[in-house]
């Protein structure tokens, strides 16, 4: 029908496809500057390919999370304090869950949105089974400037926050949660990005992709296939009556 089409690369799994037309087209349509996004990603990937040892944040992250896994920490929690990062957490869960969860191995990836989940999940994280660690995502600069208004006669007990930025209060909530969870026996990372720009997201996504590949190889699995996902697809196609799929139930490991 004359529509412009783009190639969906067959050898790139969905979780790694952010920087292909699969991710770039909808991002561009949504008004995101994909050139800046790709520039941020390329900077992260180039740095992670060249830096050595503890100077390489991706290698350090991969090594520490594998060390924690061997020490009995089986769950990693992606913790954000900004609603804009909620679906970055969803993508992160797929990236690590689908890449490492195979051959009876792998950390279980979970994501929480603080400060709302500091109540719904915070009690367990603070005092539950010590099988978890957290990766906090910190955004250094807020795009908005909203200050708490002052009213000495309101009696609401919030006058000590008068004139303070809400973004500052949010950052204090992050530090408070991180300190409390660390004191409660939960190992924590803090990954800081300068802002919520396309370039910063590209850098963050590139970092996680590189680290995920390294981490998978450290774990002894192929981080680029997904045989378990194929199992449910085969069963679904069989139940739907798709030609070529027999009656046998598939259960890839």
Average pLDDT over residues 29-53: 96
Quick count: other Cβ atoms within 10 Å of Cβ 144?
7
Phi, psi of 15 (to 5 degrees): -70, -20
Q: What tens digit of pLDDT does each residue of 188-224 get?
A: 999 999 999 999 999 999 999 999 999 999 999 999 9
Q: What is the pLDDT of residue 96?
A: 98
Over 60: is that where the pLDDT of 253 sits? no
Count how many residues are written for the chain.
Answer: 253
Confidence of residue 43 (pLDDT cuts 50, 70, 90): very high
**DSSP letter (8 states) at residue 115:** T
Compute the distance between CA of residue 145 and CA of residue 226 in angstroms, rounded to an integer.
44
Residue 119 annotated in active site: yes
Q: Which one is catalytic: 98, 102, 134, 181?
A: 98
Contact 33, 182 (CB under 8 A): no
Q: What is the dihedral of CA 187, 207, 196, 165, to 10 degrees?
A: 30
Question: Is the peptide bond preceding residue 115 cis, with omega within 30 degrees of 0?
Answer: yes
Confidence of residue 245 (pLDDT cuts 50, 70, 90): confident
Q: What tens digit of pLDDT does each residue of 160-178 get?
A: 989 999 899 999 999 999 9
Over 90: is that where the pLDDT of 233 sits? no
Mean pLDDT of the chain: 93
> Which H or E run contains 78?
strand 75-80
Q: Which one is catalytic: 4, 50, 119, 253?
A: 119
Confidence of residue 252 (pLDDT cuts 50, 70, 90): low
Confidence of residue 250 (pLDDT cuts 50, 70, 90): low
Annotate 195-231 with DSSP letters as a single string. -SSHHHHHHHHHHHHHHHHHHHHHHTS-TT--HHHHH
Confidence of residue 251 (pLDDT cuts 50, 70, 90): low
**DSSP letter (8 states) at residue 102:** -
Q: Which one is catalytic: 105, 141, 190, 233?
A: 233
Residue 233 annotated in active site: yes
Instruction: Give the three-class secondary structure for 99.
Output: helix
Average pLDDT over residues 216-233: 90
Q: What tens digit of pLDDT does each residue of 84-128 get?
A: 999 999 999 999 999 999 999 999 999 999 999 998 899 999 999
Q: What is the pLDDT of residue 247?
A: 67
Query: Which positions ≥6 away from 118 have C-beta within 8 Å?
Result: 173, 177
Of 15-19, 150-154, 198-202, the one with minimum mean pLDDT is: 150-154
Measured over the CA atoms of residue 70, residue 74, residue 77 and residue 78, the dihedral's sign is: positive
Quick one: tokens of 153?
């006669």
């Amino acid at each position: 029908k004359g529509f412009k089409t783009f190639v969906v690369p067959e050898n790139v799994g969905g979780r790694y496809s952010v920087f292909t037309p699969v991710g770039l087209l909808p991002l561009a349509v949504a008004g995101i500057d994909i050139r800046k996004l790709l520039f941020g990603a390329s900077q992260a990937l180039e740095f992670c390919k060249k830096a050595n040892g503890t100077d390489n944040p991706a290698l350090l992250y991969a090594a520490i999370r594998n060390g924690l896994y061997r020490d009995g920490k089986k769950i990693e929690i992606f913790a954000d304090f900004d609603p804009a990062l909620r679906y970055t957490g969803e993508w992160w869960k797929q990236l690590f869950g689908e890449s490492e969860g195979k051959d009876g191995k792998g950390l279980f990836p979970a994501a929480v949105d603080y400060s709302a989940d500091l109540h719904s999940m915070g009690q367990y994280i603070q005092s539950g089974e010590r099988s978890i660690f957290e990766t906090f995502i910190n955004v250094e600069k807020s795009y908005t400037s909203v200050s708490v208004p002052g009213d000495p006669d309101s009696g609401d007990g919030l006058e000590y926050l008068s004139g303070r930025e809400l973004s500052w209060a949010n950052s204090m909530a992050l530090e408070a949660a991180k300190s409390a969870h660390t004191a409660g026996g939960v190992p924590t990372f803090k990954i800081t990005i300068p802002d919520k720009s396309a370039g910063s997201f590209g850098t963050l996504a590139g970092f996680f992709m590189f680290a995920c590949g390294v981490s998978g190889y450290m774990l002894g699995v192929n981080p680029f296939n997904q045989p378990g996902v194929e199992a449910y697809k085969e069963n679904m196609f069989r139940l739907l009556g798709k030609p070529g799929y027999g009656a046998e139930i598939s259960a890839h490991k």
